[in-house]
Structure 1
Amino acid sequence: MGLILFVVFGSVAEMASAQSGSYDIRSAIQTAISNNYSLKADSLNLRMADEKKKEVKAGYLPQANFTTQSEYNPAIASQLLPGSVIGQPNKDYVGVKFGTRYNMRAGVEVTQALYRKDLKLQVKNAALQKGIESSKFNLSKEELVYQVATSFYSLQAYAEMLRTNNRDYSNMKGVLAIAQAQYDNGVLKKIDLQSLQINVANLLSNIQQLQTNYDEQLTRFNYLLGLPAAAKTVIADTITAGTSQAEIRGGIFQREDIRLSRQLIESKEVEMNAIRAESKPSVNSYFRYYYNSQFNDPGKAFNGDYSYRSSTVGVTMTLPILDGNRRKSRVNTARLQLEQLKLQDNQKLEQAHMEQASAALTFGNNQEQVAITRHNLALAMDVFTARRELYAQGVSSLMELLEAEKELSNADNLHIQALIDLQTARLDMHKANGSLLTDFINTL
């Protein structure tokens, strides 16, 4: 069973040759993690979450703006002043124009947040979001590892069935040669010879169908590994019995989906507190520096006699009073979402316990099936060997030989399936215990 199966798939030789390689399950998983496009795309969410965190934290850093403003006043506004003030005591009020035709202004304004509780909580939530994206990425990686492993096991199953069917085909061709000689000598009936020929042809047809299935599975395998569909892939097809159940560690709370669920709950709680914090006072400092120029003749725009500078340093405190209950509605929405997340978390826990128990039970049963089918395969091989010898001696009938061959083929397929089922059950155990990315890969 240590045979290495070479499979050539596709017609683009140059492209496939550049991507050819030999893979066991460990190297296949490592290649998929490095090459898979979907996983690469998901990894960008980690960088985006990091940039989002920097964006939110920027609210606590100084903010500076440069502004410039130019105005032309076609009609200069007037201000009513008492007549006695401007030397016209006979008039109660006299309109006096204030201002100039042209105003220019340029300057810098710098602000710094001193206290904002809502912003502090937003920064905390941004950090949690990075952890959430990390958990989502690990879930995607787990799913990829699971798909690569199951695809690899499927290839192993097809390779093993091809091997056993080729063996059976070779055996039956030998029997057919004996039957042909018996028929030529008038010992065997024509209908028995034809029945045997049909059996041999059916075996060949089955081999061709298995090869087609193998090629299709290999194409999917290449896709998961991020390789061209036409890549030449060499698969180590030895099927092992796997590890014992005691060697599979981990636990419910090591699962990435459970960790993600708890992170989403914590993030929603922080979001609720951040919304509430918006009703708290916020304190900001500011510094303003401006250069102003006022004139009536455009030619005097840069005349120092008509310009002046101004600067201001101050602190502002803002306290929200009314917002039309908008903040209250947002808090209520977040509270309902939090309740929903907690219910989903309880469901995930129950599902995790169920999957863990089911995987453990299946693993134990499959271990027993491997032992049973191994024993049956040995018996079927002995029976077929004995029947073939008896048939060659003319003691046993053709029907008895065909039945023995059928039993051997069935025992072979059942044993192969039992081995693959055990490997898959082992994989499911690691997935249920949250150890796919750790113990499973490390023990391959």
Structure 2
Amino acid sequence: MKQLSLILLLMISREVGAQTVVRTVQDAIQRARQHNPDLTIARQNRTTQDQQRETSRAALRPSVRAFSNFDYNYALPTQLIPAEFLGGQPGEFRTLQFGVPFNLTAGVEASMPLLNRPNRLDIGLATQNLRIIDDQNLVLQDDISTQVARTYHATLLTRSAIDIARRNVANADTIATIARQRLEKGQIEPLEYNRLQSIRLTAEDVLRQNELSYRRNQNQLKVLLGLTLQDSLVLEQDLMISTNQTGFSSTSPTAERPQVTVRRSQLELFRQQLNRENALRWPTLSVYARYSAQAQRKEFSFFDLSQKWYPIGVAGLQLNVPIYSGGLRTANLNRARLRIEQAQAELAYEQIRADLDNQDILNTYQQARNSLNFNRQNYELNEQNTQIALIKYRAGIFAYDQYLNVFNESLNAQNRYLTTLSNVFINQTILQIRNGN
């Protein structure tokens, strides 16, 4: 029986999935940086691209290759020779064929560059490309962190909205019950009862919409954190209780944005490419050595080791001096210079965009923080007013129109308070990310 219970427990736990507990938004961001699928793929791509640097280094190392050629001369060339050279009559010709039908050559060749500036600069280009990939990964990490911050607080927002919506539904149910009793006693008209019933249905619909939004936000957060939809995600933080954690010192971010760093790295890459284009004017020098053996047969008998093979060996230096390339080198140099000018303009524009975005985030945070206290007080007052209006309506002091006005004012105050509170936390987290916290 115990074994059966254990098996059932394991099956249920497998179906439910693993449980992940996230205490703060910083924990969520840290987990996303480690397990987010996009970041994981980006790191794998970085490892793959690292092989390009080894490829550039290999061009400066010795290379050795083995080769073999097999030729079958199915029609040997024929040459006419004066017959008198072979003891014949003057004016006559003899036909001679040179070579044999079957030829096999096998050998080995080694070479090594001694002077090749472009290949040496290729190593620097490969390293700079890797640096750009690292910077692009930081851009992706910054985007993912921002998405996590927004989605995390959106999840907390909708969860708090669900709690408030449930209280609204409970209040609406109470009002509808009172109205039904009064309708049965003939104290109110059906119109008043129907309007109060409409409030209850609207509150119920708002609750269902908030529950749907909460599930959507939670699922999106799971994906950002590298979880599956079957995994359980628990957020310990309560948005309504965390209002005392909004004391972040709002200062403009001083760290350079990753987007600007990418532009700066790209500018450096184009400068190195210009240096490489200039290096193509330099001569290249390499050393090589080749050894081969050749067998010539009238018949296909290369496996007969008693027949002779003829060795061939050569070693030397190869010097290549570029003189004229049909204007290709000049065009490449002009293109490299234009790329540098374009990259400089893109860097300047990206810096302006980054400063503007940082200032916008800072202004939004300061405005939301300044409005938070007023919206909190307004929310608390309207919560009290709703309870007072409920008591007065139950006592017959308030008419239903008066209660409806108080109820609608409370809904507006709830929405403004939750939105402002969420904006404070979202922009506070983004500022902390951009300040390196």
TM-score, length-normalised on structure 2? Answer: 0.83
SS of the residue 1:213 aligns to = helix
Q: Give the aligned partner of residue 407 of structure 1.
A: 409
Q: Secondary structure at the match of 2:249?
A: helix
Root mean square deviation, CA, Å: 3.4
2:357 equivalent in structure 1:
355
CA separation in 2, counterparts of 1:405 and 1:101?
A: 105
Whichever residue aligns with residue 343 of structure 1, its letter is A
Partner of 1:251: 254
Cα distance in 2 between the residues matched to 1:55 and 1:198: 72
- Counterpart CA distance in 2 for 1:387 and 1:59 is 84
Structure 1 residue 364: deviation in Å? 0.5
Which residue of structure 1 lines up, in the alignment, with residue 337 of structure 2? 335
Q: Per chain length, whose mean CA-contact separation is higher, i.e. which structure has more relative contact order (CA < 8 Å, sep 6+)?
A: 1
- Structure-1 separation of matches of 2:230 and 2:48: 34
- List alignment gaps of at least 5 residues for structure 2: 1-10
Partner Cα distance (1:365, 1:425) in 2 = 11
Task: Say yes or no: does 1:315 pair with 2:314.
Answer: no
Q: Does 1:389 align with 2:388?
A: no
Which blocks of at least 5 consecutive residues in structure 1 are unaligned?
1-11, 440-444
Tell me the SS of whatever aligns to 2:59: helix
Alignment of 1:422-437 (within 5 A): 422-430=424-432, 433=434, 435=435
Secondary structure at 1:122 match in 2: helix
Q: Are 1:219 and 1:230, in contact at CA under 8 Å, matched by a contact in 2? A: no
Matching residue's letter, 1:374: R
Q: Shift in Å at residue 300 of structure 1?
A: 8.3
- 130-139 or 206-215, larger mean C-alpha shift: 206-215
What is the count of residue pairs matched by the alignment? 419
Deviation at 1:160, TM superposition (A): 0.9
Name the residue aligned to 1:75. Answer: 76
- Offset from partner CA, 1:174-207 (integer Å, 9 cap, x none): 3444444555555545543333222222211221
TM-score, scaled to structure 1: 0.82
Kindly tell me: are residues 280 and 353 of structure 1, through their superposed partners in 2, closer, same or farther at Cα, counting changes over 3 Å?
A: same
> 3-state DSSP class of the match of 1:322?
coil
1:4 corresponds to? none
Percent of counterpart pairs with the same letter? 18
Shifted more, 181-190 versus 326-335: the winner is 181-190
Q: What CA distance in whole angstroms lies between the structure 2 residues aligned with 1:290 and 1:58?
A: 25
* Aligned residue number for residue 7 of structure 1: none
Distance in 2 separating the partners of 1:14 and 1:266: 53
The residue identity in structure 2 corresponding to 1:216 is R
What letter is aligned with 2:405?
E
Distance in 1 of aligned mates of 2:351 and 2:357: 10
Counterpart CA distance in 2 for 1:238 and 1:372 is: 20
Deviation at 1:34, TM superposition (A): 4.3
Look up the equivalent residue of 2:21 and give its one-letter code: S
Cα-to-partner distance string for 1:11-32 (whole Å, 9 max, x where unaligned) = x987651244333434444444
Contact 2:76-2:99 within 8 A present in 1 as well: no
Residue aligning to 1:282: 284
Letter in 2 for 1:21: T
Structure 1 residue 287: deviation in Å? 2.0
1:138 and 2:138 matched = yes
- Which residue number in structure 2 is paired with residue 18 of structure 1? 17
Partner amino acid for 1:421? N
In the other structure, the counterpart of 2:4 is none
| Alignment CA distance shift 1:29-1:78 (3 Å) | same
Question: d(CA) in 1 for partners of 2:221 and 2:290?
Answer: 64
How far apart are 1:315 and its partner, in Å? 2.2
